[in-house]
Amino acid sequence: MTHPDAHRTIETVWRLESARIIAALTRLVRDVGLAEDLAHDALIAALSEWPETGVPANPGGWLMLTAKHRAIDRLRRDDRFKDKIKDIGHEYADQQRVAVFTTDAEFEAVLEDDPLSDDLLRLIFIACHPVLPTPARVALTLRLLGGLTTEEIARAFLVPEPTVAQRIVRAKKTLAEKKIPFEVPPPAERADRLASVLEVVYLVFNEGYSATSGDDWMRPELCREALRLGRMLAELAPDEPEVHGLAALMELQASRLRARVDADGHPIPLPEQNRGRWDQLLIRRGFAALLRARQLGRPAGPYVLQAAIAACHAQPGPTDWVAIATLYESLAFIAPSPIVQLNRAVAIGQSSGPEAALRLVDELADRPELRGYHLLPTVRGDLLARLGRDAEARAEFAKAAEMTANARERDVLLRRAG
């Protein structure tokens, strides 16, 4: 195998296996930063050896075993780490871990005494811990669970690489200083913590689905990464309907990615998209995930309701806007926000006409949360145009163009304003 081939293989294997390796090591060393360092040591070893010796038959297992050996060496020689264990209150259990095992086989047993899926779930909860600011949660999640490099995260979110690096360093430092345990939260805290996890994953997806800034309307690689995380969550937490709801929502929305832009990369509104370009496999996966959420028999939460709305759009034939408006009404009841109300107004505009919708939109005009939100004047412009008030509509599109930071979206709005 040539060097470039080996490097490409390592990159692929790392993207697939890094989260599992970091999760397993974090359970042992109880420090996510140290676990990541140890995992990277194994990655460096692969980059050094595989181009010369060839890719092993089980590359993921090779990385895991190498990382474990790095951990053994580290734990045996690092007195400071033993002191740290005492500080964070795991004295008895972890002294046993450090002192008792004298062979690699014993160490393997320590690492294998919990299912790996539990480790991954713990890693997701710690990376998305509410003690971290949202940008830090996003960066840390993509780094630890997606295996993305700092450069890749910076490029995806159009922020300087040093900024992302600082966010990750501070996040790991905060987790260590706050002594955040590496555990799935107890049942009393799980709903809030799970909400934080889902929020982070959906933020990643949305940034890929409709980029807030830059020259590209979409960043599909972020959608794919969020979708991967969502599917992983659905496997790790199969009894949580909101997890399946989020997975369903992302599958259904992702099914439209190919149809959302024209040949020049400009956005195509949903009613004007070529449905023949929608991905039917993702639609089927979305429906299956939504069915799974409903089969769990609990009241629908925000993600299940949004997935139900996306499912309405994915149905063949004319769109049932009355059903969509009703679903938005339910969503506004359990998760009230002016953006949900704005989306409800769009649905009412389709089901009951633009005049009824315009009244609702005008009621939202003074909401401080929508100040600077370019979709408010965009929606208002659409409704005014349908009512034949063309001059007012053009003024709204011009206002929206000034607000958006996305170049492709700005082009479309300026054409409509012109």
Q: Establish if 159 belongs to a structural domain.
A: no
**Given a cut of 80, is residue 1 above it in pLDDT?**
no
**Given a cut of 60, is residue 379 above it in pLDDT?**
yes
If one compares 287 and 370, the residue with the highest pLDDT of the two is 287
Nearest to 246 by CA among 211, 197, 208, 295: 197
Half-sphere exposure (Cβ direction) of 176: Cα atoms closer than 13 Å: 17
Domain boundary among 52, 70, 85: 85
Task: Give the chain's end-to-end CA distance (angstroms, integer).
Answer: 57
Instruction: Quote the CA–CA distance of 93 and 79 in Å, as a whole number.
Output: 16
**Given a cut of 90, is residue 339 above it in pLDDT?**
yes
User: Under a CB-based contact definition with an 8 Å cutoff, are residues 13 and 7 in contact?
Assistant: no
The domain that holds 65 is classified in CATH as 1.10.1740
**How many structural domains comprise the chain?**
2
Provide the pLDDT confidence category of residue 348 given band limits of 50, 70 and 90: very high
Query: By mean pLDDT, which of 160-169, 259-268, 356-365 is the weakest?
Result: 259-268
**pLDDT at position 157, please?**
78
Instruction: Quote the CA–CA distance of 413 and 322 in Å, as a whole number.
Output: 28
If phi > 0 it is left, if psi is from -120 to 50 it is alpha, else beta; for residue 362 that is: alpha
**pLDDT at position 352, please?**
95
Highest averaged pLDDT of the listed ranges 64-78, 82-96, 181-195, 247-261 = 247-261
**Given a cut of 90, is residue 91 above it in pLDDT?**
no
Highest averaged pLDDT of the listed ranges 8-12, 160-164, 183-187, 365-369 = 160-164
Mean pLDDT across the chain = 87
Mean pLDDT of 376-384: 97
Q: Is 243 exposed, middle or buried (0-12, 13-18, 19+ CB in 10 A)?
A: buried
Range of the structural domain that residue 375 is part of: 345-417
**pLDDT at position 95, please?**
44
User: Under a CB-based contact definition with an 8 Å cutoff, are residues 151 and 161 in contact?
Assistant: yes
**Given a cut of 70, is residue 371 above it in pLDDT?**
yes
Using DSSP's 3-state secondary structure scheme, residue 58 falls into: coil
Rounded to the nearest angstrom, the gap between the alpha carbon of residue 242 and the centroid of all alpha carbons in its chain is 14
**Given a cut of 70, is residue 337 above it in pLDDT?**
yes
Instruction: Quote the CA–CA distance of 217 and 219 in Å, as a whole number.
Output: 7
Query: By mean pLDDT, which of 85-89, 199-203, 305-309, 349-353 is the weakest?
Result: 85-89
**pLDDT at position 98, please?**
43
Instruction: Quote the CA–CA distance of 241 and 248 in Å, as a whole number.
Output: 10
Mean pLDDT of 398-410: 92
**Given a cut of 90, is residue 89 above it in pLDDT?**
no
If one compares 188 and 19, the residue with the highest pLDDT of the two is 19
**pLDDT at position 92, please?**
41
Provide the pLDDT confidence category of residue 86 given band limits of 50, 70 and 90: low
Q: Establish if 168 belongs to a structural domain.
A: no
The residue count for the chain: 418
Query: Can you read off the two tokens belonging to residue 311?
Result: 């499912």
Query: Can you read off the two tokens belonging to residue 251?
Result: 């599958």
Half-sphere exposure (Cβ direction) of 7: Cα atoms closer than 13 Å: 3
At 189-216, the pLDDT tens digits run 888 889 889 999 998 999 889 888 778 8
**Given a cut of 80, is residue 165 above it in pLDDT?**
yes
Distances (CA, A) of 211 to 58, 153, 176, 274, 342: 38, 14, 33, 21, 19
Q: For 3-57, give the DSSP string.
A: HHHHHHHHHHHHHHHHHHHHHHHHHHH--HHHHHHHHHHHHHHHHHHHHHH---S
**pLDDT at position 68, please?**
86
**pLDDT at position 280, please?**
96
Q: Establish if 242 belongs to a structural domain.
A: no
Using DSSP's 3-state secondary structure scheme, residue 213 falls into: strand
Provide the pLDDT confidence category of residue 412 given band limits of 50, 70 and 90: very high
Q: Establish if 70 belongs to a structural domain.
A: yes
Q: Establish if 77 belongs to a structural domain.
A: yes
User: Under a CB-based contact definition with an 8 Å cutoff, are residues 248 and 310 in contact?
Assistant: yes
Mean pLDDT of 122-128: 91
User: Under a CB-based contact definition with an 8 Å cutoff, are residues 71 and 39 in contact?
Assistant: no
**pLDDT at position 97, please?**
46
Provide the pLDDT confidence category of residue 80 given band limits of 50, 70 and 90: low
Instruction: Quote the CA–CA distance of 39 and 20 in Å, as a whole number.
Output: 10
At 7-50, the pLDDT tens digits run 888 888 888 889 889 998 988 888 899 899 999 999 999 999 99
What pTM did the predictor assign?
0.81
Query: Can you read off the two tokens belonging to residue 155?
Result: 């490029």
Nearest to 6 by CA among 58, 47, 64, 62: 47
Instruction: Quote the CA–CA distance of 399 and 157 in Å, as a whole number.
Output: 25
Query: By mean pLDDT, which of 97-106, 176-185, 221-230, 284-293 is the weakest?
Result: 97-106
Residue 405: strand pairing partners: 213
Q: Establish if 136 belongs to a structural domain.
A: no
Q: 42-49 long-range CB contacts below 8 Å, 24 or more apart?
A: 42/66, 42/67, 42/70, 43/10, 43/14, 43/18, 46/10, 46/13, 46/14, 47/7, 47/10
Query: Can you read off the two tokens belonging to residue 222?
Result: 């972020």
At 243-287, the pLDDT tens digits run 999 999 999 999 999 999 998 888 898 888 999 999 999 999 999
Q: Establish if 212 belongs to a structural domain.
A: no
Domain boundary among 85, 106, 121: 85
Q: Establish if 385 belongs to a structural domain.
A: yes
The alpha-carbon radius of gyration of the chain (Å, integer) is 24
Domain boundary among 85, 112, 140: 85
